[in-house]
Chains A and B, each alone.
Chain A
């Protein structure tokens, strides 16, 4: 008997939820805002789907609605990726320890 590939994806999904659960509990509360901005940036990996939609199935230059929607989704996700990672970086640069000689 063969196992449906869906079951494999479901397994990955469920195990990732558990990984997320344990990893996020170990995040220090003072970094909860950067946590939100970085999760926001990584969830924009949906750009993968947008690129596939944008390049889907045509070799000629005529674009379908489906392609155009993909292009729009690429832009939106790109705003998030660049914005999310950079703003996280900016925030994390500000977290500093007490200087000893002060």
Chain B
């Protein structure tokens, strides 16, 4: 196949990828969008096979490795529970990063095969592009591994900070630029390996100081990086499909990071520099006074909700941990039979990744037109009878609106306190991620339900 013809097919698959993202503007068109994405991928792979042309014995190995990877991927996709989606996405990002690194190394070792010059005298432009692709790929890989371990719970979700962390990171980032410069001027392969090693190291160091609840930002950021890495390799290989896709994914991840940061009213750098919640936690536990709270049981909660005419449910990460979404849906079904209007309010940063709560509710067969975003539903709290907060905390804290001293001041929050009564399903009175107390716990019209979210929801259903 001629180079021109294959370039046209790569362009087509790039366009199909754009349509795949476009499809996600509504749930109805999304399934068709996913089909376009698959079609684009099939075209890209087929064209590559045809344009390489020489059907050597290597081809059979390519197909074998493709099949092995494909089977593993398909197996994971069918087995993975929806609650594990953040870990899965982080794990997948690391694979994109690693394959970008492998392709870059392969091109560095055998530049003739890619038309990039010969070893020791690779074209300057290609070498720069290759270095960028490899660096960003390596950062994506090691960063995603840490994110994966934190989300999986293998590694503690709390921030890991040490003295001199920021100067060290700054030093490494500068040395990446310096090493890239010397790599390009000397073509030394040793420098290429050093560049890769320090890139792996910085990816690791950048993510360890970031705490669990900031993971939505981190995952989106790594999503963006995996795109830029693909684009870098796309420039090296002069491949339009890779360049287009890399740019799409890169900007998609960047936008998601921005949305997540805005949901917490924090700047991107504030999140990336990390350590949030580590210091405040100490302060609040030291000077905490005992205040009375009203705690109740499932019977009280069932009574309140039975007499309500409208209920708003605010799910948070605690619902995901307790896997309470199905029990919650059953409870809501019972409420609906009693002609009680139920809707769900989702805060942008609820959970561990963008849209986490929406997927879990969808899994439990909650129709998506009962689920609302913060701006859509926030005015309705004043007219609702009961707000049921299940596994969320900071996103409901009124201190974000009233207390300029609070670390979360200015963060958009759900106006739960405007409801006639508030039910909190929570395991204990412990502060949330931001390490601050929630005034809502001590309000007159708040009833605390101390229990596992799933068990409590089931008990409430029994009492309805």
Interface residues of A (CB under 8 A from B): 5-6, 9, 12-14, 16-21, 23-59, 61, 63-67, 69-99
Contacts and interface: CB of A to CB of B under 8 A. Distances in A.
Contacts of B27: 28, 30-31, 92, 95, 97
A-B pairs with lowest CB-CB distance, top 9: A78-B69, A32-B355, A56-B113, A83-B73, A82-B73, A16-B247, A20-B251, A32-B354, A86-B77
A35 B355 CA distance: 9
B365 to A, nearest CB: 7
A41 B369 CA distance: 27
A86 B78 contact: yes
A55 B52 contact: yes
Contacts, number: 387
Contact of B358 (A17, A30, A69, A97): A30
Interface in B244-270: 244-253, 255-256, 259
Contact of A19 (B76, B80, B248): B248
B72 interface: yes
A77 B33 CA distance: 21
- Size class of B's contact patch? 35 or more
B109 A66 contact: yes
**A28, A67, A74 — which one has the most chain B CB atoms within 10 A of its CB?**
A74
Contacts of A89: 31, 34
Nearest to B105: A69
Contact of B237 (A20, A48, A81, A88): A48
Given A26-B25, A31-B24, A55-B56, A42 B85 contact: no
Query: What's the dominant secondary structure at chain B's contact region?
Result: helix
Contact of B96 (A33, A46, A61): A46
B73 A78 contact: yes
Nearest to B359: A33
B157 to A, nearest CB: 19
A33 B140 CA distance: 19
A19 to B, nearest CB: 6
Interface stretch (B15-23, B206-214, B310-318, B449-457): B15-23
Contacts of A12: 240, 243-244, 247
A97 B38 CA distance: 25
Contacts of B259: 29, 32
Given A28-B26, A72-B102, A75-B68, A6 B48 contact: no
B437 to A, nearest CB: 29
24 contacts: A6-B125, A13-B246, A14-B247, A20-B248, A29-B259, A29-B358, A36-B220, A36-B253, A36-B355, A37-B89, A43-B246, A43-B249, A45-B44, A45-B245, A56-B110, A56-B114, A71-B65, A72-B102, A75-B66, A82-B73, A85-B41, A86-B74, A87-B77, A96-B367
Contact of B359 (A19, A24, A75, A94): A94
B30 A53 contact: no
B96 A44 contact: yes
Nearest to B38: A85
Contact of B113 (A6, A23, A53): A53
